Amino acid sequence: MKVDDEIKECLSEIVDENCLLTLSEINEELRRRLPTKPFVHDRTVGNALNGMLIRIKLARPLSAADSNRPYVIQTGVEYVNL
């Protein structure tokens, strides 16, 4: 199935609203917003986003303990002072 302009516009809106959604969650939201459109596979959603120059990256939460370790803080300070 080809991704038409309406689907691309909807994908763009979904990603603009929440850029931390997974491809599956983006696809679910796409189906909720455009119920009359045919089923699109998660990989097709990813390919469409890549074609729109929207890159998908891994995002995961870090515990406060990991982000406050001394070497992490020092690395941040060194980066800022470059």
pLDDT in tens, 35-74: 999 999 999 999 999 989 888 777 777 777 677 788 888 8
Which is nearest to 24 in space by CA: 70, 56, 65, 61?
56
The model's pTM: 0.68
Terminal CA-to-CA distance of the chain, rounded, Å? 49
Contact 14, 30 (CB under 8 A): yes
Residue 1: pLDDT over 70: no
**Which of the four pLDDT bands, split at 50, 70 and 90, describes residue 29?**
very high
